[in-house]
Amino acid sequence: MAKQTKHSQPEGVLFRIASVAIVVLACGSLTSAQNTTNSEVGTGEIRTLPPSDADRVQLADRNNSAIAQKKLTKDETCLLPPLSLSTSAAVSARQLQVPANARKEYQQACVALKDAKTADAEKHLRRAAQLYPKYSAAWVTLGQILAALQRTDEARTACSQGSAIDSGYVPAYLCLADIATRAHDWSEVLKQSNRALELNPSGNAVAYEYNAAANLNLHNLADAEKSGLRAVDIDKNHNEPRVYFVLAQIYEAKHEPTNEAAQLREYLKYATNPNDVAMVKQYLSELEKQPGK
């Protein structure tokens, strides 16, 4: 059994699967966890790994999704998931004032992302931000790409720039929360997700999902459960099924195996990645094998 740290919770099924770390938010796919070592399992936190080469491939896949394409049509952005699912309470005046030449560069970046031309996308986004330095969407999309390429300091700077020039731009705070999640900086995740929720408390399931993950890892289980359930309530179309995985871990920490299993089953209803589905089925099978559960 892995050594327990001072603040660790007892190991359960989700924390005991050999050679698997639990990736919930930052890497975009639970299967990114498969390269972790046994020593990383069982520490009682939601596991996130530094992005691997899979992140680079997923940049194209993510933007080919129907959700991302609808988002581009709606507000002319091509933010990567899960930020593509987030909403701002209102479009700021700065974003409405984006000049045509900067907007064209951004749109070219979106096309490059769709075609898996990450370097070209970065070039167009930097050009868009140069033409219109107050272009928050360009800064945040650039930050997401840089984070996926493991250029963390640059990514943080870009997303911070997005929030500094438009304090009401929700995706900027979620971008910073995502970067903090990759670093396991749960206090920062909580801070940034709280800021996003202050701006839009009623319609942002992604912010509640980050908030739930942060509170879980900070051992604020009541707050974690509240945020997780709020995310589910908002996400009527089940666009972000990973929140059920977060809730499963919350109920494991609360020693509620019936609720834990129920959340895993909900995840399996809506998840689409076959490898992720297989992994969660394994978790559920291990849970159901336990006596009395």
The residue assigned the tokens 């943080």 is 156
Give the model confidence (pLDDT) of 70-121 as tens digits: 444 345 789 998 888 765 544 555 667 889 999 999 999 999 999 999 999 9
Preceding peptide of 81 cis, ω within 30° = no
Give the model confidence (pLDDT) of 143-159 as tens digits: 999 999 999 999 999 99
The answer, yes or no, to whether residue 198 has pLDDT greater than 70, is: yes
Average pLDDT, the chain: 78
CATH number for the domain harbouring residue 93: 1.25.40.10
pLDDT at 84: 80
Q: Is residue 164 part of a domain?
A: yes
Give the model confidence (pLDDT) of 113-147 as tens digits: 999 999 999 999 999 999 999 999 999 999 999 99
- What angle (nearest 5°) sits at the alpha carbon of residue 194, between those of residues 193 and 199? 95
Confidence of residue 188 (pLDDT cuts 50, 70, 90): very high
Q: How far apart are CA 176 and CA 73, in angstroms?
A: 25
Q: Collapsing DSSP states into helix, strand and coil, what is residue 221?
A: helix
Confidence of residue 54 (pLDDT cuts 50, 70, 90): very low
Give the model confidence (pLDDT) of 152-184 as tens digits: 999 999 999 999 999 999 999 999 999 999 999
Q: Is residue 286 part of a domain?
A: no
Is 8 within 8 Å of 49 (Cβ atoms)?
no
pLDDT at 132: 95
Q: Is residue 166 part of a domain?
A: yes
Q: Is residue 211 part of a domain?
A: no
For residue 221, count CB atoms less than 10 angstroms from its CB and return exposed for 0-12, middle for 13-18, buried for 19 or more: middle
Confidence of residue 20 (pLDDT cuts 50, 70, 90): very low
Nearest Cα residue to 50 out of 29, 32, 69? 32
The token duo for 3 is 């050594």
Q: What share of the chain has pLDDT > 90, as a percent?
A: 56
Confidence of residue 9 (pLDDT cuts 50, 70, 90): very low
> How does 80-102 read in b/e, with b if 16+ C-beta sit within 10 Å?
bbbbbbbbbeeebeebeebeeeb
For residue 40, count CB atoms less than 10 angstroms from its CB and return exposed for 0-12, middle for 13-18, buried for 19 or more: middle
pLDDT at 171: 94
Q: Is residue 243 part of a domain?
A: no
Give the model confidence (pLDDT) of 242-263 as tens digits: 999 999 999 999 999 999 999 9
pLDDT at 7: 42
pLDDT at 34: 36
Q: Is residue 136 part of a domain?
A: yes
Q: Count of domains in the chain?
A: 1
pLDDT at 69: 41
Q: What share of the chain has pLDDT > 70, as a percent?
A: 70
Q: Is residue 75 part of a domain?
A: yes
Q: Is residue 68 part of a domain?
A: yes
For residue 179, count CB atoms less than 10 angstroms from its CB and return exposed for 0-12, middle for 13-18, buried for 19 or more: buried
The token duo for 39 is 């020593």
Q: Which domain holds residue 126?
A: 53-183
In angstroms, the Cα distances linking 50 to 35, 152, 224 are 11, 10, 24
Taking residues 283-291, what's their average pLDDT? 84
